[in-house]
Amino acid sequence: MSSPSIKIDKKNAIDLVMQLMAIPGKSGEESLAADFIIDQLRSAGVPASAITADNTHKKSPIGGERGNLIVKLPGTIRGPRRLLMAHIDTVPLCVGARPVRKGNFVTSRDASTALGADDRAGATVVLNTAIELIKQNLPHPPLTLLWPVQEEIGLWGARNASLSKLGNPKLCFNWDGYAAEMICIGATGDYLIEIQIEGIASHAGVHPEQGVSAAVIAAKAIADLEAGGWLGLVQKGKQAGTSNIGVIEGGAATNVVMPTLSIRAEARSHNPKFRSRIVKEIEQAFRRACRSTKNDAGKTGRIEFQANLKYESFRLDEETPVVQAAYTALKSVGLQGQPRIANGGLDANWLTARGLPTVTFGCGQMNPHTVNETLDVTAFLDACKVALAVATADEA
């Protein structure tokens, strides 16, 4: 049972999330969603002077319409500043979503779109918390509310957030996931790998032997990785990770031996050294394939290989103050904390790496990034209660 001191307007919270999920806002195009949040904050009584933004989008490889949305609320009681956050961008599949509620679940009325509960549910949790604080006139320590942009394409909002604008928070909480009682205390790290294969073009019908096919090089390398256990789920002794060839682009005509091919791949592991090993194995496989693929004159193609860290892995100790504060908040609303380590990236990766240890709660998202995406209303409402408990905690 929830503590009687933690109450929320369930109808209003559901109305807010339904409206926010219907607003288009893929990564780099978050202005409409941010404007909605600002309008709701101003209507609730948050002064314009408390609402600001940073210029993180100017540091992103895609640019973008705006930076992170930031709200700082002075405390009415003493205590360390707390940060509550959830990203506002969605994957492109969510554009055009029309949320419809069926009992305890919300889905997209349009079967060709995802819903956008990832992470509009989390964004609504943070928004609803601000509204409830003002509506109920609840005492609270100093708070920073953060709605990062461009999470879905590499955590760029959290990666480049202006720390000076956040007010030096001591306890940081993120909402992004399913179960409200989840306490995500760690997550994997990820390398983005870009491979450019340069073969040799020739007429595929007249002199195919004079060409070096970029497709053949790629095929050999991928087969080599799969046979060696370095593709997909990678398990070597006590070490584990994953790798994936996600994007392959090349060729323009069937009568030309493919001269160029571009590949985008990734390598993940909680162990930084093992993750680097996976990257090295991928590079070596492509270079071996390139050396072994020759035309009739003995010429080979060439490989350009780049691997860039998207985000580093982290794991918080159970005794870390923010983890203990998360357990306390869950207990106050009648939920039992369930620690979890994620195999995907979160904004918490970069905030933690930048000196702000961050835990992540769930907020009812199910099957994100697919047309089967669903919002569990009960879990979402529980998340709203958890957030209000976090925001009104009076312990140091």
Q: What backbone phi and psi angles, to 5 degrees, belong to 367?
A: 55, 50
Structure tokens at 347: 């904004």
The stretches of 231-320 forming alpha helices (DSSP H) are 272-292
Q: Quick: pLDDT tens for 72-103.
A: 999 999 999 999 999 999 999 999 999 999 99
Q: Quick: pLDDT tens for 164-189.
A: 999 999 999 999 999 999 999 999 99
The answer on pLDDT for 3 being more than 50 is no
How many CB atoms are located within 10 Å of the residue 233 CB? 9
The answer on pLDDT for 396 being more than 90 is no
With beta carbons less than 8 A apart as the criterion, state whether 306 and 223 touch: no
With beta carbons less than 8 A apart as the criterion, state whether 271 and 241 touch: yes
Q: Quick: pLDDT tens for 104-163.
A: 999 999 999 999 999 999 999 999 999 999 999 999 999 999 999 999 999 999 999 999
Structure tokens at 45: 């009584």
